[in-house]
Homo-oligomer: A and B are copies of this chain.
Amino acid sequence: MIRIGILGYGNLGRGVECAVRQADDMTLTAVFTRRNPDSVQILTDGAPVCSAQDILKYKDDIDVLIICGGSATDLPVQTPEYVRSFNVIDSFDTHAKIPQHFANVDKAAKESGKIGMISIGWDPGMFSLNRVYANAVLPQGKDYTFWGKGVSQGHSDAIRRIDGVADARQYTIPVPASLEAVRNGDAPELSTREKHTRECFVVAEEGADLARIEKEIKEMPNYFADYDTTVHFITQEELNTNHSGIPHGGFVIRSGNTGWNNEHKHIIEYRLKLDSNPEFTASVLTAYARAAYRMNAEGMCGCKTAFDVAPAYLCQQSGEELRKQML
């Protein structure tokens, strides 16, 4: 059994707990939290909730620590720190800062002889893998990534900060005609506006100026100004009933050509349709925890990304079973 520790018990940590339950070859050793452990109720019978301060006491009881913190301030500190004592996995998703994060984790992991697997999830993660495979197979071509339909936490937060807004939920939606053009192999050049629309469900405070709120949303730089944005005012009850889920997903498409004169077109499309963004991310983290355990058992160490992991390491099945069942 692979002994798993979870650091951080929000939506992502809870998702990892559920994914570990589905894995016959894994067991949850403990959940670590920065909150008062007595205030945190987990789902798994028999697994303790411990203070993050005590985590090093579990050094010999945990094979892989799955770090479920945020990319802004938690992971840049936690991942290099804990890879000194554990094999670790994170979902670091600040694209521009990945090279620096990789360097920090790699240095610490090589010193400790552990594996630090970073930027695991669906984007970065499964989407990145599909970009790499598709580029390797079709070197002459063009990449497209569409996100949605799904809830953007960052955009929802931005709306909530507007004066007079009580609550809000924002959906990112691919533009169907653009998606079709890409699938047809037209290889279009698409502007930001042509790729996605944004749909906002807003609960206004009583007496708030709705026209002003709508204008502020639609003109907000970076977040909304470059998009066709729709704003719906609804009640808190409607928001709670119809928009409480955290769905997401999207498309990675490569349109490429082969042939002596590039005369043949090919489309490679990868699509995710996810009911729960954090639970899916957690499921990817958990599969890569298996890989980290096995790769470290074979003597590998250092910082790794999904690009460095042979797919066979992710599965419970042996190589022989995989070849028989899935090849």
List A residues at the B interface (Cβ < 8 Å): 15, 17-19, 21-23, 43, 95, 98-99, 102, 119, 124, 126, 128-133, 135-140, 183, 185, 258-260, 264-276, 279-280, 282-284, 287, 290, 305-312, 314-316, 319-320, 322-324, 326-327
Contact = CB atoms under 8 A, between A and B. Distances in A.
A269 B266 contact: no
Most buried by B among A128, A131, A139, A282: A139
A71 to B, nearest CB: 13
A128 B264 contact: no
B264 A279 contact: yes
B326 A136 contact: no
B268 A135 contact: no
B322 A307 contact: yes
Given A99-B324, A266-B276, A267-B273, 15 more contacts: A98-B327, A129-B311, A132-B314, A132-B315, A133-B314, A136-B290, A137-B314, A258-B280, A264-B275, A265-B275, A266-B274, A268-B272, A269-B271, A305-B327, A306-B327
Given A311-B307, A322-B307, A323-B305, A267 B272 contact: yes
B273 A270 contact: no
Contacts of A326: 128, 131-132, 135, 307
11 contacts: A43-B260, A95-B327, A98-B323, A98-B324, A124-B327, A132-B315, A136-B311, A139-B316, A258-B280, A269-B269, A307-B311
A18 B276 CA distance: 43
A311 B306 contact: yes
State the 4 A-B residue pairs at the shortest beta-carbon distance, nearest first: A136-B314, A264-B275, A267-B273, A307-B312
B279 A323 contact: no
A309 B307 contact: no
A132 B307 contact: no
A126 B137 contact: yes
Tell me the dominant secondary structure on chain A's binding face: helix
Nearest to A131: B326
B280 A266 contact: yes
A88 to B, nearest CB: 17
A327 B126 CA distance: 9
Contact of A133 (B135, B268, B311, B323): B311
Contact of A287 (B137, B272, B312, B315): B137
Given A126-B137, A311-B133, A272 B266 contact: yes
B132 A126 contact: no
Given A95-B327, A259-B18, A315 B136 contact: yes
A60 B129 CA distance: 34
Contacts of A139: 22-23, 316
A54 to B, nearest CB: 26
Contacts of A314: 132-133, 136-137
A266 B249 CA distance: 9
